Amino acid sequence: MDLTDKQQEVLMFIRKKVREGLPPTIREIAAEFSFSSTGTVRDYLKALFRKGYILLNEKKSRAIELTEKAMLTIPILGSVPAGVPVLAVENVEDYFNVDKLFSQKEELFFLRVRGDSMIGAGIMPDDLVLVKKQPCAQSEDIVVCRIDDEVTVKILRNREGRLFLEPANKNYSIIPLNENSQIVGKVITAIRRYV
């Protein structure tokens, strides 16, 4: 039930166009592969739909939607037992869906972390944290907040009914959430890039 080489090529073309921001029309796909009939393209689209790689929105132009299956994925290796090559299929624990993580349906931004106040949680200076903008969060969430006109990363914690912004470093102090300390968003991912 996998894709043929040709179907793979067509899917790759669609993916490229979708990532560029404008899904192709049937005739643009036909032109790319020198098909002289729109019917040929429809055969491909139907095949890709049947195999679960795309969704088709009827009567709408350029309305080809990629499913998760068709998105860019990188394998995640879990435990690697003795004697087996590292990249063997058996080691694949899951797939990391890049498009899904960075899909911009929500208001996201990165914040470069200053200082070492979250070092106990493995968030180091100069790390990037991906932040979903939202005005509130739950206890134990890692949040980006503004405290007296300074933006920092902290842990939101409920202590006997009162909310506090706590660092993960004992050299810094715990601050109550009040009118001078406001939540900007929730940290959903931390990323550190090496050279």
Print the SS3 string covering 45-107. Answer: HHHHHHCCCEEECCCCCCCEEECHHHCCEEEEECCCCCCCCCCCHHHEEEEEEHHHHCCCCCC
Q: Which among 2-10, 39-47, 99-107, 157-165 is the span making contact with a copy of itself, rule CB under 8 A? A: 99-107
5 burial level (CB within 10 Å; 0-12, 13-18, 19+): exposed
Site string for DNA, 14-43 (x = CB under 7 A): -----------xxxx-x--xxxxxxxx-xx
Active site residue 61: no
When the beta carbons of 50 and 133 are compared against a copy of itself, the nearer one is 133
CA distance 44 to 39: 9
Site for a copy of itself in 18-57 (CB under 8 A): 18-23, 25, 57
CA distance 156 to 16: 40
Can you tell me which of 47, 111, 163, 175 binds a copy of itself, judged by CB under 8 A? 111
When the beta carbons of 5 and 148 are compared against a copy of itself, the nearer one is 148
Q: Does 75 bind a copy of itself (CB under 8 A)?
A: yes
Q: Does 134 bind a copy of itself (CB under 8 A)?
A: no
Q: Does 59 bind DNA (CB under 7 A)?
A: yes
CA distance 70 to 135: 34
Active site residue 103: no
Q: Which one of DNA, a copy of itself, none is in contact with 162 (Cβ closer than 5 to 8 A by kind)?
A: none
In this structure, is the dihedral angle defined by the CA atoms of residues 147, 151, 154 and 156, taken in order, positive or negative? positive
Phi first, then psi, for residue 192 (nearest 5°) are: -125, 125
From the candidates 46, 69, 117, 181, which is the catalytic residue? 117
CA angle 104/105/108 to nearest 5° reads 55
Residue ranges in contact with a copy of itself by CB under 8 A: 18-23, 25, 57, 60-63, 65-66, 72, 74-83, 86-87, 93, 96, 98-99, 101-105, 107-112, 114, 119, 122-124, 127-128, 130, 133, 141-142, 144, 146, 149-151, 184, 186-194
Residue ranges in contact with DNA by CB under 7 A: 4-7, 25-28, 30, 33-40, 42-44, 47, 50-51, 56, 58-63
